[in-house]
Structure 1
Amino acid sequence: MSGYNLSPKAEHLYKVLKDFVENDCIPAEETLNQQLGHGADRFKAVPPIIEELKTKAKQRGLWNLFLANEHPPYCPGISNFEYALLAEQMGRCIRLAPEACNCSAPDTGNMEVLVKYGTGAQKRQWLEPLLEGKIRSAFAMTEPAVASSDATNISTSITRNSDGWVVNGHKWWITGAGDPRCKVFFVLGKTDPHNSNAYKQQSVIIVPRDAPGVRVVRPLTVFGYDDAPSGHCEVIFDNVRVPLDSIVLGQGRGFEVMQGRLGPGRLHHCMRAIGLAERAMELTLARICQRETFGRKLAQNAVVMHQIGDCRMDVEQARLLVLNAAQKIDASNPKAAQREIATAKIRVPSLVLKVLDQCIQIHGAAGLGADLALAEMYAGARTLRLADGPDDVHKEQLGRNEIRKYVKRHQAKL
């Protein structure tokens, strides 16, 4: 990609991926819609087009790119900065391209958890088939009965018995749970609810999807979209029994696992969102160059020119925030890039939503319907302001850290 100092490998992957997204994935969107079917059938079978695209992507070397350089031997040999540009291309076809390249959430975050913290047995049972794209997974955290933006509220219980753990809880908005290929849940719950340190009460435990007592209640919709066949589901864990070695990293280390999982994942969402905005802009530019109002093309209207200019500035700002965070991760690690990741997580979805809203406005009533992709794009992008923590929580944390840094510097001078 011109303008960026990419490695020869990343340059090659970018060209191959761009061709794959534009000429294979985007044209397949209509096929996906046709193969999904209607009603409950949308969650009973996987549209064949998905596996066809996965085969093509793997053959072209477009596989597991999200692991970047920090996870040998699994990494593809590119930096986070380079992956950001690749993920942007995948975001142009958000429903197909990320999954086709085995780079879609929540599997990416769950694979990173296993790469970083999994035991040898956990990796053999779950990581290997996930890396091969043979199964899918879900991360079960959010609960309907508590304010889950404060994860210390999570009330799902994980209790020890003579031969293992027993999980009881009610979760919802669990992405991927509706997919027939989903074979495993990573569940956040309390193993030590009376610990005086609220951040040591939680653990992450691996629960097979077919374990007795796991029940997917229903898929939930976002502005009417069900995101089949993956879905965002309500799930009940009713006396689910799993072996002792199902805890990830160790008892009471759930917050550590979550932070290791969510940091890169938050940035991956932002990377893809930029591709979403770019595609929306292209649809809109085509629209204004074709449509006429009051005797002239929309593109000749000064107000529309200003709107397009604002959209371009918003997209460029979003991209720079993402690339800055990715570069900081490459220079150090996700923990050291916490401020940059948080800034991107807060600002990028809002900027992308501004662009999508403007594109819908320019399209008029057509922008609101299902004939075009804009409304569905908007629904997906709006979700990002809540996914992996709402904006307000991240803003508070970001502000608190800035104040602490100032106070520390001030006290040092004194």
Structure 2
Amino acid sequence: MTSIFEVSPRCKELQKKLIDFVENDCLPAEEIYESQVGTGDQRWKTVPPIMEELKAKAKSLGLWNLFLHKGYKEGPGLSNLEYATLCEISGRCPRIAPEAMNCSAPDTGNMEVFAKYGTPAQKAKYLAPLMNGEIRSAFAMTEYAVSSSDATNIETSIERVGDHYIINGRKWWISGAGDPRCKVYLVMGKTDPKNENKHRQQSIVIVPSDTPGLEVVRPMTVFGYDDAPEGHCEVKFTNVRVPVENIIAGEGRGFEVIQGRLGPGRIHHCMRAIGMAERSLDTMIARVTDPSRRTFGRILARHGTVAADVAKIRIEINAARLMVLAAADKIDKLNAKGALRDIAMAKVLVPNMLQKTIDLAIQAHGAAGVSQDFPLARFAAGARTLRIADGPDEVHIQQLARFELMRGEEIRERNKAIHNRRAQILDNGSKL
């Protein structure tokens, strides 16, 4: 993998190790992992043993917690750009490799929240075991009854009563909530619903998973996939009581926390999507160049439409990669807030590119493409979901349009200056 963006020799060495780990350990473990998940209710009580073996190997190779960038003393010292290149490699095996490296959502975002905003006590109790891979976590923001793409709509109440917060609300699509290893939730709700500044109404509190009143109602499915044992669950909070020291950063800072959490996370998702697209293209190429598979006397690759699809996919993957790397580089230089435009562009472009790539790969496989014999069907479910998760396409497009349209006055002034200069040149007999 080559890039116009320079990375350190250490990162290049990690790339080599990770390619070997994914190709020789993670990909061969995919079917084994699925067979170990279990059936029925056991799907939510069983952690596939092979995952623990893979985690131990990743740790021994130094492929552990790579996501936490060099701004954090707890991290391995990589930049967001460097991690993005590694994230692509792990994305070739999205069900296994990220978790094996302790680099899977929602834990990565939650660990960054604890690292950035957590008190020493919060870090000791939750960040340390998360970074050691001993427990998992969930982030509870999206709600059943409101349009959560606008997070100001969140209705879950977080009311202070004496030395405790009382939480009431109904959440859903809470990733990781079904996992038996999930020991802590970060819950977003309103501590000050009457605040005139709608972005200061929300706060985030820590809720241990065994707190009375916290109920995992049901796992949700994504195009039929339940993603056990982690799952995406509906969760109810009924008079859930936690001490006031469980607040993250302070009351009214929920929006600030989630913006810092979601920016890098969106790029992580996009880079893994590049890896999924590369694997989908590889799967397609293997299929269409197989000499045993012929239609109308020719292998599939000899049909013009198929060959053209392969070429177009290559162009779009490479373009998407450059956009994501540029966004990661901008985060390194200007932080997530300064890179909002680049993040928005990547978050729209990449999932759409991935969805198109997978669809063409499925088409080239015929009926096999939608079967369990290839990863494409599961990839398709993930790709379509990614156009909704962490902000739907429309939100990012609207944000990007606002950024662009703000340049209107500047452009008009520049055009006016050009017009005046043209008139000046004509007055001088067309001489500069």
TM bucket normalised to smaller: over 0.9
Q: What is the alpha-carbon distance in structure 2 between the residues aligned to residue 345 and residue 92 of structure 1?
A: 18
Report the counterpart of residue 39 of structure 2 in structure 1.
38
Report the counterpart of residue 426 of structure 2 in structure 1.
none
The 5-angstrom pairing of residues 15-414 of structure 1 reads 15-71=16-72, 73-290=73-290, 291-407=293-409
Q: What is the alpha-carbon distance in structure 2 between the residues aligned to residue 377 and residue 40 of structure 1?
A: 24
SS of the residue corresponding to residue 333 of structure 1 reads: helix
Q: What is the alpha-carbon distance in structure 2 between the residues aligned to residue 285 and residue 42 of structure 1?
A: 34
SS of the residue corresponding to residue 170 of structure 2 reads: strand
Shift of 1:89: 0.5
Q: What is the alpha-carbon distance in structure 2 between the residues aligned to residue 289 and residue 409 of structure 1?
A: 50
- Residue type at the aligned position of 2:148: S
Q: What is the alpha-carbon distance in structure 1 between the residues aligned to residue 14 and residue 32 of structure 2?
A: 26
SS of the residue corresponding to residue 251 of structure 2 reads: coil
Q: What is the alpha-carbon distance in structure 2 between the residues aligned to residue 188 and residue 310 of structure 1?
A: 42
SS of the residue corresponding to residue 185 of structure 1 reads: strand
Q: What is the alpha-carbon distance in structure 1 between the residues aligned to residue 239 and residue 79 of structure 2?
A: 43
The worse-fitting range, judged by mean Cα deviation, of 401-410 and 76-85 is 401-410
- Residue type at the aligned position of 1:306: A
Q: RMSD of the alignment, in Å?
A: 1.4
Q: Contact conserved, 1:314 with 1:352, CA < 8 A, in 2?
A: no
Q: Contact conserved, 1:106 with 1:175, CA < 8 A, in 2?
A: yes
SS of the residue corresponding to residue 216 of structure 1 reads: strand
Larger radius of gyration: 2
Q: Contact conserved, 1:186 with 1:206, CA < 8 A, in 2?
A: yes
Q: Contact conserved, 1:106 with 1:139, CA < 8 A, in 2?
A: yes
Q: What is the alpha-carbon distance in structure 1 between the residues aligned to residue 274 and residue 202 of structure 2?
A: 34
Q: Contact conserved, 1:220 with 1:231, CA < 8 A, in 2?
A: yes
- Residue type at the aligned position of 1:367: G
Q: 1:59 to 1:210 in 2, by over 3 A?
A: same
Shift of 1:348: 0.6
Q: What is the alpha-carbon distance in structure 2 between the residues aligned to residue 89 and residue 55 of structure 1?
A: 19
SS of the residue corresponding to residue 66 of structure 1 reads: coil
Shift of 1:332: 2.4
**What does the per-residue CA deviation read over 1:148-194, in whole Å, with 9 as the maximum and x for residues that have no partner?**
11111100000011221000000000000000000011111000111
SS of the residue corresponding to residue 166 of structure 1 reads: strand
Q: What is the alpha-carbon distance in structure 1 between the residues aligned to residue 238 and residue 337 of structure 2?
A: 36
Q: What is the alpha-carbon distance in structure 1 between the residues aligned to residue 188 and residue 348 of structure 2?
A: 24
SS of the residue corresponding to residue 95 of structure 1 reads: coil
Q: What is the alpha-carbon distance in structure 2 between the residues aligned to residue 114 and residue 169 of structure 1?
A: 23
**What does the per-residue CA deviation read over 1:81-131, in whole Å, with 9 as the maximum and x for residues that have no partner?**
111111000000000000000100000000111111111111111111111
Q: What is the alpha-carbon distance in structure 2 between the residues aligned to residue 74 and residue 53 of structure 1?
A: 22
Q: Contact conserved, 1:91 with 1:275, CA < 8 A, in 2?
A: yes
Q: TM-score, normalised by structure 2?
A: 0.93
Shift of 1:37: 1.6
Q: Contact conserved, 2:330 with 2:339, CA < 8 A, in 1?
A: yes
Q: What is the alpha-carbon distance in structure 2 between the residues aligned to residue 285 and residue 398 of structure 1?
A: 35
Q: Contact conserved, 1:318 with 1:352, CA < 8 A, in 2?
A: no
Shift of 1:76: 1.3
Q: Figure out how many residues of one structure are paired with residues of the other and give that number.
A: 413
Shift of 1:77: 2.2
Q: What is the alpha-carbon distance in structure 2 between the residues aligned to residue 111 and residue 62 of structure 1?
A: 17
Q: 1:323 to 1:142 in 2, by over 3 A?
A: same
Q: 1:183 to 1:411 in 2, by over 3 A?
A: farther
Q: Contact conserved, 2:92 with 2:279, CA < 8 A, in 1?
A: yes
Q: Contact conserved, 1:273 with 1:352, CA < 8 A, in 2?
A: yes
Shift of 1:408: 6.1
Shift of 1:400: 1.1
- Residue type at the aligned position of 2:54: L
Q: Which runs of 4+ in 1 moved over 6 A?
A: 411-414
Q: What is the alpha-carbon distance in structure 2 between the residues aligned to residue 13 and residue 392 of structure 1?
A: 36
SS of the residue corresponding to residue 65 of structure 1 reads: coil
Q: What is the alpha-carbon distance in structure 2 between the residues aligned to residue 2 and residue 167 of structure 1?
A: 49
Q: What is the alpha-carbon distance in structure 2 between the residues aligned to residue 381 and residue 63 of structure 1?
A: 25
User: Percent sequence identity over matched residues?
Assistant: 60
Shift of 1:409: 6.7
Shift of 1:301: 1.2
